[in-house]
């Protein structure tokens, strides 16, 4: 007997924050290259929880779409969607 009942769809929840390894992968870098770019001020500033850096996923996506500008230029450009203007 074959069951024809359909299962409910499972929602995929994307994280709001990503750790260093995930940020590097999302942006096409190795962990070591991401550290170098981080030290040189070439990636968006992380948010720290304790001693661990995390990045806002939405910001990384917007940063890549903007052409990956250096942090100082990016901070002038970035307007988070959750900030009313």
Residue-wise pLDDT for 11-38, tens only, equals 888 889 999 999 999 999 999 999 999 9
Does 61 fall in a domain?
A: yes
CB 22 within 8 A of CB 33: no
Beta bridge partners of 54: 19, 47
Count of structural domains within the chain: 1
Counting Cβ atoms within 10 Å, is residue 43 exposed (0-12), middle (13-18) or buried (19+)? buried
Residues in CB range of 71: below 8 A, 6 or more apart: 41, 42, 43, 44, 45
**Residue 13 pLDDT:** 86
- The residue with greater pLDDT, 15 or 82, is 15
Is residue 3 one of the residues assigned to a domain?
no
Judge whether 8 lies within some domain: no
52, part of any domain: yes
**33 within domain boundaries:** yes
CB neighbours (10 Å) of residue 24?
A: 21
Full residue range of the structural domain in which residue 28 is found:
17-77
Residue 2 forms part of a structural domain:
no
Residue 67 covered by a domain? yes
What residue has token string 């992380």? 46
């Amino acid at each position: 007997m074959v069951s024809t009942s359909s299962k409910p769809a499972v929602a995929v929840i994307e994280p709001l924050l990503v750790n260093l390894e995930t940020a590097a992968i999302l942006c096409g870098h190795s962990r070591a290259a991401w550290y170098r770019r981080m030290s040189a001020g070439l990636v968006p500033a992380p948010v720290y929880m304790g001693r661990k850096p995390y990045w806002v996923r939405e910001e990384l996506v917007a940063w890549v779409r903007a052409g990956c500008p250096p942090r100082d230029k990016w901070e002038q450009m970035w307007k988070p969607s959750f900030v009313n203007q």
